[in-house]
A and B are shown apart, each in its own frame.
Chain A
């Protein structure tokens, strides 16, 4: 039972344009969300997080948006760069139940120079 879903396995974007990666979740008790970036043969690297008390969090070129009513979050990368080409995972957890995260299946982003 996949509680966190990334329905787009892949995405291609031109360099300099915006990349939008989407993630949906089913458990309304989730209140903390993260995005990870993963290069081949490496472990995931933490990118950005958002708590459910916010609807937006920004860090440089990366912005995460949270729509609690739709149980949807998205990661915007502006402008996209070739080095952003990687697999992106979203993850969700529920406070006060330990630090257990549920991960999506990942979206492979390719930024075309």
Chain B
């Protein structure tokens, strides 16, 4: 049963700590994305990756970092430089490939990050 798995569902971070959110997909998708959702706002793109070992900044990349060493995995690190990290984080994937456009993105169930 293919899908996107985000873990953990809830995560707590102390001030000044880095924390890494996991995202794994078994859909054989080339493209993966990280979004952030805040109350009353739409999803905002943090980073995206079209292919392994390549990724680009989205609209709100400051204070975040990613890696894409494997096709299935796209972890997001929320660094201490992110001043307002409390949010709901969503990972998504799409088929990708050369015609990487007009493709629905499929989402995981999200990770809610809170600052202690």
Contacts and interface: CB of A to CB of B under 8 A. Distances in A.
Interface of A: 2, 4, 6, 9, 31-32, 34, 36, 41-46, 49, 51, 89, 91, 93, 95-106
A46 B106 contact: yes
Contacts of A4: 42
B90 A99 contact: no
A89 B110 contact: no
Q: Which 8 A-B pairs have the closest CB atoms?
A: A43-B107, A103-B42, A103-B43, A46-B104, A32-B102, A105-B42, A43-B109, A95-B101
Main secondary structure of the interface of A (DSSP, over half): loop
Contact of A49 (B58, B104, B108, B110): B104
A94 to B, nearest CB: 8
Contacts of B92: 43
Contacts, number: 70
Interface residues of B, number: 29
A103 to B, nearest CB: 4
Contacts of A101: 43, 45, 105
Which of A95, A104, A105 has most chain B Cβ within 10 Å?
A: A105
Nearest to A42: B109
Contact of A43 (B100, B103, B104, B110): B110
B34 interface: no
Contacts of B58: 100
A93 B102 CA distance: 7
A108 B41 CA distance: 13
A70 B60 CA distance: 29
B40 interface: yes
A31 to B, nearest CB: 8
Interface string B76-116: 00000000000000101010100011111111111000000
Contacts of B9: 41
Contacts of A100: 45, 48, 58
A99 B43 contact: no
Given A101-B45, A102-B42, 10 more contacts: A43-B107, A44-B90, A46-B105, A89-B43, A99-B96, A100-B48, A100-B58, A101-B105, A103-B43, A106-B42
